[in-house]
Amino acid sequence: MMMTLVFVFSFAPTVVFPQHTSPKVTGKYEVATATYTYIDKNRIEEFTDKGDNRFVNVEFWYPKNVKETYPLLVFSHGAYGIKASNTSTYTELASHGYVVVSIDHPYHSFFTASEDGTKVLINSDYNHEIENLNKEGFYTKEEEYELIQKWMKLRTDDMNFVIDTILKKAKSDNNPVYQQINTEKIGVFGHSMGGAASVWLGRERKDIDAVVNIDAPFFSDLVYKKEMDDYVARDEAFTTPLLNIYSDDVWGQLDSNSTYVANKLNNENFKDAYTTHFKGAKHLSLTDLPLFSPLLANMLQGGKAGIDPYYAIETENELILKFFDYELKGIGEFTSKETY
């Protein structure tokens, strides 16, 4: 029995995290990375009672050893995600001349490590809130709406803080990472809850020039109506250029789940948005997880996706690159098929 346990323990990593080929990188630039911890002196950490300031861990992907400036792209991960969730996307974008920063939202991310070695896991209360939200009838619509507002406030506060910090450093910090940033061109994107936060920022900030929403509801555009105990869509045009990429998991809910009432394709307030559907994809097909841990991805999303994982992520990366190229650099035209 002991030998069996030792064998399983020794070889489990090769089963859970098998060797895999990295998605293709097509840009001309070699990509460098850098990680930092930013301390927000204007916020106290709500997940502890120590009175510490909120900290946010970030990682940059950017062109190595170049003198030009490039648009800034800010990424937010999903509910249980980590800042490395779409590394292939960041790398592809940076190789084409973008400075990409991905955020770990401490206590919302599964795991994060700071520059000083501090490690933080997902908060158990937040974890239970997410789990219970997925249970039919556990929360009332009003309670669900309050949770959404709470989650989005933390996410958007983190993203606003990171963007503002970077813009300030671009003016005063000689670090090559910051000196490569064109502060007049900013895009935001994210997966799942991070996509919802990105759309939210696309409404709030005037300096956001383009948004990519990966498989998320428009939480920013939900209005809770007590008299009907349900959501309606906010009645205000969304004017920031927007690309929506949906898996089967979300595509099948656009007309049946009121959480996606604002995402409906006939919503005139989003008439200029680009929307595409990856047929056969599951929620995590739009991240790198199915590549480096197919077993874990299948467990988390309830089965194997019906789309090739490399086709899914490489097609997604290509679309995001072309969208940002068009909106932030004025390169070419952007079109997308209804279904991939």
Residue 279 host element (H or E)? none
Task: Give the domain CATH number at 240.
Answer: 3.40.50.1820
Q: What pLDDT score was predicted for residue 134?
A: 86
Q: Higher model confidence: residue 19 or residue 10? A: 19
The fraction of the chain above a pLDDT of 70, given in percent, is: 95
**DSSP 3-state of 35:** strand
> Across the chain, how many H-helices and E-strands are there?
10, 12
In a domain, 315, yes or no: yes
In a domain, 107, yes or no: yes
The tally of domains found in the chain comes to 1
Q: Find the domain containing 252 and state its range.
A: 28-329
* E-strand stretches of the chain: 31-44, 53-63, 70-76, 99-104, 111-113, 119-121, 181-191, 210-214, 222-225, 230-233, 242-246, 274-277
In a domain, 11, yes or no: no
In a domain, 16, yes or no: no
Cα distance between residue 324 and residue 53, in whole Å:
34
In a domain, 123, yes or no: yes
The 10s digit of each residue's pLDDT in 124-178 is 999 999 999 989 899 999 999 999 999 999 999 999 999 999 999 999 999 999 9
In a domain, 230, yes or no: yes
Asked whether the predicted pLDDT for residue 245 surpasses 70, the reply is: yes
In a domain, 152, yes or no: yes
pLDDT, mean over the chain: 94
In a domain, 284, yes or no: yes
